Structure 1
Amino acid sequence: MDRTDVLIVGGGGTGTGIARDLAMRGVDVTLVDRGGLGSGTTGRSHGLLHSGARYAEADATGARECIAENEILREIAGRCIDDSGGLFVQLSEDDPDYFDEKRDACREHGIPAEELTPEEARETVPDLADDVERALSVPDGVIYPSRLVAATAAGAREHGATVLPDAPVIDLLVEDSEGRRPSNQSSGQRPRDEAVVGAELDHEVGEIRADHVVNATGAWADQLGSMAGVDLDMKPTRGVMVGVDYPGLGPVVNRCRPPSDGDIVVPHENEAVLGTTSVAVDDPDDYEQADWEIEQTIEECAAMLPPVADASRTRTYWGVRPLYGPEEAELEGERGISRGFFVVDHADRDGVDGFTSVVGGKLTTHRLMAEAAADHVADVLGVDAPCRTAEETLPGHRDPERLDALVEEFDAGGPADADVIGGR
């Protein structure tokens, strides 16, 4: 049996970010994941570094968070990021008022946005569709998630954290006020005078006891929460990404319309990643991967960039978004659920001490999510130290060979950037 101040479950962008943040504050941290870091949503994303323009007209807070974190990541993450730039293109069938609204909202929220003519846009992306009527240049970029997660975990370890990439949680350790494990493990049926005091882990790791446990498992947050008898009511949705052979794209290309299927093309070194769909799933480990999603994504992306329709496919993968919105999902459907993040204090909400969940959000804002969660945990533990993650660069951030060695060490390779780094 081992002991730590804080046990963080989930080694994606947010979990590794929390580990790094708390370790930099002098907290003894242990981070665990199953089957390698970044093996969940983070490693199966489209890897877009948002400028905030996608959300500008509908979510002012989210837009401002994105542009702020975009600028921070460019400073601290180095070769984990590709400063590609981005375009939002208005096609002939798209609403010009929506374009105007997005452009004005970007400028209002501090997102650099320059309106371009079709001719100016084609100087950057010659293969744009003939019916592009206007474009908006914004500071989007590309995240290589494998490098980002591995470098963040290395930063946590440099400050004293223990990182266990292959230590699946079998169960959470829950005790009542007298140190006894409750006999009734069903969600919502226990007396609420309990605390999460650690976890039992597989692969011969055994028990790790902790003063506080953080649930950073993303789309799997309900599964871990149920081990503590709490319900997070996650609303995960799947989305497909299709890699095609398309070197030299340049900027990210976005369709300037309300978020829909097949409206993003993300450049990689010799490929473009087309995305994506949004379909509700019940189980983030077991869901349909439908051919229609692939076909629709290619067709819609080709409306902006016609050559991708006939480009050779290099890979296809699905990811699951960790959406949290128990009321919004019923009112507005999957795309109406907030992409914001939430720090859930289970002591306050459920009467279960020693347990915090961080849910929702985007990879672009993972550092901010980690800061918010770390602020909460530090307050609970009485740690009086500020967040410093926005000022200190990640280990190896300017050295791609070192970054890729860290990816291998932490088993952090994933399909999102397999063409750049190589991964599972």
Structure 2
Amino acid sequence: MTIETDVLVVGGGATGAGVARDLALRGVDVVLIDRGGLASGTSGRSHGLLHSGARYAEFDPVGAEECIDENRILRAIAGECVRETGGLFVQLPADDPDYFEEKRRGCEEVGIPVETVDLDAARKQAPGLSTDVERVMEVPDGVVYPSRLVAANAADARENGAAIHPHAPLESLTVADGRVADARIGESVDDVVETQFVVNAAGAWAGEVAAMAGLDVEMQPTRGVMVSVEYDDLGPVLNRCRDPDDGDIIVPHETEAVLGTTSVPVQDPDEYERAEWEVERTVEECAAMVPAVADAPVVREWWGVRPLYAPDEAENEGRGISRGFFLLDHDGDGVANAASIVGGKLTTYRQMAEATADLVCENLGVDAECVTAEQRLPGADDPDRLDEFVDEFDGQGPTDEDVVGG
């Protein structure tokens, strides 16, 4: 029996779930599919940083402004999906002191709250901070629990009429007369979906989904390792105050600290090397900020793959590729009812979803405004309910498995 819907969203990470929620709240009929459990791709395998935008302030002010705007929105709507920790950027002797000043000025120009704090105050927040630290600035970074965030978005979408299908891989798309006519969905759906519009929110796998419709979306995914160690004495997020590099961030959880990360290009986001040197380098570099993490017991290691969009980039190590998002309307590519949303960051997923939903509604002739910035997520104040959503959608990822369901 064929399923009919207004919009098929392919990809059940933060952006896909956010698109489904946004459209459902506007009264659009939506089917969301993912080949695995929700958040099983990049979203659930991140380091879980709620960006203040400070990381990008001096070289990407637009991206930094997006981050601080969405940071504030998520603190208001997401409740127990996020954790307010604050963040510190620390300068070590090897770091360029001019860079510290450039970042602080960049934050001020963008409107990111920033304050240079004395070392005694910094060590009260982060008692294990290296004695080599020379200067510290404070910014409103935080922590995201992606399993909860994605599941809460999916639950809200479902409560407003969307159909959510984990373990439902897209097998094929049929294009006729310049439009996607239908999609063949496997496993838990095992049926054909006829749709008026397709949103490709498959992250690092967006190129493969696009190819099913004869479209070319040039992704350049890069892998990065995260190492979670036993460490409950951190407090704020720690960032190394230098150009982005390996091992320059430590994200606190309740009894653990997540150390990250590397950036290595991969050809296949499913099949790639997990290199031990990445683990060793990440621990070594993070230990320059907090020496105790070098000897802390390792709880788990995992790699994530960034969904970087780079049509004009020769293959490189990936640090220079924009972390901004790109909304690709494929009408100009010969498929009138399809769009891909690629790139971006976990922090800006809601803004990415809003931009995508605006495009879809314009295409479908739907006159309805976005309300996702004002409406709190279901279960936001009840971690047990959030974790029930995670279980229901098979959404557990390694980023937050020490917290979710615990």
TM-score bucket of the superposed structures, by smaller chain: over 0.9
Matches within 5 A, 1:356-367: 356-367=339-350
**Superposition deviation, residue 248 in structure 1:** 2.9
Matches within 5 A, 1:89-238: 89-175=90-176, 177=177, 194-203=178-187, 204-238=189-223
**Superposition deviation, residue 333 in structure 1:** 4.3
**Distance in 2 separating the partners of 1:328 and 1:121:** 40
Q: Does 1:23 align with 2:24?
A: yes
Residue equivalent to 1:191:
none
**Distance in 1 separating the partners of 2:360 and 2:44:** 26
**Superposition deviation, residue 351 in structure 1:** 1.2
Residue equivalent to 2:367:
384
Residue equivalent to 1:242:
227
**Distance in 2 separating the partners of 1:17 and 1:56:** 25
Residue equivalent to 1:321:
306
**Superposition deviation, residue 172 in structure 1:** 1.1
Q: Does 1:415 align with 2:392?
A: no
8 A Cα contact 2:36 2:167, kept in partner: yes
**Distance in 1 separating the partners of 2:181 and 2:52:** 39
8 A Cα contact 2:168 2:185, kept in partner: yes
8 A Cα contact 2:128 2:233, kept in partner: no
8 A Cα contact 2:228 2:300, kept in partner: yes
8 A Cα contact 1:328 1:336, kept in partner: no
Q: Does 1:254 align with 2:239?
A: yes
Q: Which amino acid aligns with 1:196?
A: V
| Structure 1 runs (4+) greater than 4 angstroms displaced | none
**Distance in 2 separating the partners of 1:328 and 1:200:** 33
TM-score for both structures, normalised by structure 2:
0.98
**Superposition deviation, residue 117 in structure 1:** 2.1
**How many residues are matched?**
404
Residue equivalent to 1:186:
none
Q: Which amino acid aligns with 2:205?
A: W
Q: Which amino acid aligns with 1:298?
A: V
Q: Which amino acid aligns with 2:303?
A: W
Q: Deviations over 1:384-412 (max 9, x none)?
A: 11110000000000000000011000111
**Distance in 1 separating the partners of 2:181 and 2:16:** 18
Any gaps of 5 or more consecutive residues in structure 1?
178-193
The alpha-carbon distance between structure 1 residues 248 and 329, as it changes in their structure 2 partners (threshold 3 A), is: farther
Q: Does 1:263 align with 2:232?
A: no
**Distance in 2 separating the partners of 1:61 and 1:366:** 15
Q: Does 1:43 align with 2:37?
A: no
Residue equivalent to 2:287:
302
Residue equivalent to 1:279:
264
**Superposition deviation, residue 35 in structure 1:** 1.5
Return the match for 1:311 from 296, 309, 319.
296
**Superposition deviation, residue 422 in structure 1:** 4.9
Q: Does 1:406 align with 2:399?
A: no
**Distance in 1 separating the partners of 2:16 and 2:238:** 29
SS at match of 2:19: helix
**Superposition deviation, residue 352 in structure 1:** 1.1
Q: Deviations over 1:110-131 (max 9, x none)?
A: 1000101222211111111111
Q: Deviations over 1:44-78 (max 9, x none)?
A: 00000000000000100000000000000000000
**Superposition deviation, residue 249 in structure 1:** 1.1
**Distance in 2 separating the partners of 1:328 and 1:340:** 15
Identity of aligned residues (%): 63
SS at match of 2:134: strand
**Superposition deviation, residue 329 in structure 1:** 4.6
8 A Cα contact 2:70 2:348, kept in partner: yes
Q: Deviations over 1:139-159 (max 9, x none)?
A: 000000000000000111111
The alpha-carbon distance between structure 1 residues 422 and 286, as it changes in their structure 2 partners (threshold 3 A), is: farther
**Superposition deviation, residue 326 in structure 1:** 1.9
| Bigger shift: residues 152-161 or 313-322 | 152-161
SS at match of 1:135: strand
8 A Cα contact 2:264 2:317, kept in partner: no
Residue equivalent to 1:346:
330
Residue equivalent to 1:77:
78
TM-score for both structures, normalised by structure 1:
0.94
Residue equivalent to 1:33:
34
**Distance in 1 separating the partners of 2:376 and 2:103:** 32
**Superposition deviation, residue 205 in structure 1:** 2.2
**Distance in 2 separating the partners of 1:116 and 1:76:** 29
The alpha-carbon distance between structure 1 residues 137 and 329, as it changes in their structure 2 partners (threshold 3 A), is: farther
**Distance in 1 separating the partners of 2:363 and 2:89:** 43
**C-alpha RMSD of the superposition:** 1.0
**Distance in 1 separating the partners of 2:25 and 2:150:** 16
Q: Deviations over 1:365-384 (max 9, x none)?
A: 00000000000011011111
Q: Which amino acid aligns with 1:124?
A: Q
